Amino acid sequence: MLSIRGRCAKRRSENRHRLKVSARPEPGPHPQLGYAASLIDRAAYCRTDDAALAKFADDARAGAYLIGGELVVMKQQGETIDPLFSVAEAQSVGTVRERIFLGLMQDAPRFGFGLDAAAVEQLKLRNDLKITDLRSIAVQGMVGAVHLPPLAEAKAMIGWHARHRFCPNCGASTRVVQAGWRRDCPSCHAEHFPRTDPVVIMLVIAGERCLLGRSPRFASTMWSCLAGFCEPGEAIEEAVRREVLEEVGIVSGRVRYFASQPWPFPMSLMIGCHAEAKSEKIVIDRSEIEDARWFDREELASMLARSHSGGLTTPPPIAIAHHIIRDYVEHGSDVLL
């Protein structure tokens, strides 16, 4: 007898054969979700080992990613862009404010160095450096995919340090300990750990139709999943149902987890879900989103394939929304099983 998981997989497989969507995207391996699937071993046990950390910094294979505010500093030689500096190279670029031990990449130590954001603006004058934001790096494929997860780790950590220089408990200046993974308050002795903000992002499904919305920040042709921050004291399923009700007035029933994605803007975790619609009438909260409407599965497939007759699009493959939508196009409402 098949397990529940086995039965779902079988049903999905059968459904895939039944599916007839004319503009279905070409089959093949799914593009990689940006910033996820890190090859870094965080080696957290080394964070309190000063001797090991000193040895790592002196290791000839050691490499550092440089972050300044929202920007990533990379080496550029002609068309070649390299985000990884040697420790000596990184220290020569500018004053390092924070050093984070990110972990080991196939035994090679990796660090994230934080530069002063204002100083990074000055570095833009140098033609041997490429300085841009992490979204552009991922969307344009400027660096190998292997670099995206450690860049995300470094950016989220540097961003956390930038916002936690003072103790939220007593207001005193805090100091960095544990290779960048904690800030301690010398006054009240509080220990502060890096945080991640959970965001639910969901595709609302009603049989062969699903609901997409538009933010005023989007490119004019793009439609995507609804999303919002998970609030304190709230389960993921509750956050999904609340956000959907608030943004478009739809009541949700079943909620199924799909996958998650680190989203270092500045330090979020996107929690991807599919949600079952229990009502149909859309009531848009214009303070949250610009527009929302139902799309049938075939129209959605053409948007994924970039062949929509009206030029409408979905987010690029680096974003989890793309994969949440693709899973529904391929498997239909079975994603809710």
Q: Which is nearer to Zn ion, 41 or 184 (CB)?
A: 184
Residue in 169, 173, 196, 307 binding Zn ion, rule: CB under 5 A = 169
Nearest to 36 by CA among 323, 234, 335: 323
Under the binding rule (CB under 5 A), the answer on residue 170 touching Zn ion is yes
Using omega within 30 degrees of 0 as the cis cutoff, is the peptide bond preceding 109 cis? no
185 touching Zn ion, by CB under 5 A: yes
167: contact with Zn ion by CB under 5 A? yes
Verify binding: residue 183, Zn ion, rule CB under 5 A: no
Q: How far is the CB of 173 from Zn ion (least distance, A)?
A: 9
For residue 312, state whether it binds Zn ion (rule: CB under 5 A).
no
Count the residues of the shown chain that bind Zn ion, applying the rule CB under 5 A. 8
Nearer to Zn ion, 167 or 329 (CB): 167
The reply on whether position 190 binds Zn ion by CB under 5 A is yes
Backbone phi, psi, residue 257, to 5°: -70, 140
Angle at 321 between CA 319 and CA 326, to 5 degrees: 110
* Residue 163, amino acid: R
Among residues 155, 192, 151, the alpha carbon closest in space to that of 171 is found at: 192
> What is the pattern of x (binds Zn ion, CB under 5 A) and - over residues 92-131?
----------------------------------------
> Measuring CA to CA, which residue among 307, 287, 290, 285 is closest to residue 298?
307
User: Alpha-carbon dihedral of residues 39, 45, 49, 53, nearest 10 degrees?
Assistant: 0
Least distance from Zn ion to the Cβ atom of residue 169, Å = 4
Taking CA atoms, 56 is separated from 39, 92, 97, 107, 272, in Å, by 18, 18, 19, 10, 36
Task: Single out the segment in contact with Zn ion by CB under 5 A; choices: 65-73, 163-171, 269-277, 325-333.
Answer: 163-171
Of residues 176 and 201, the one with the C-beta less far from Zn ion: 176
Contacting residues toward Zn ion, per CB under 5 A:
167, 169-170, 172, 185, 187-188, 190
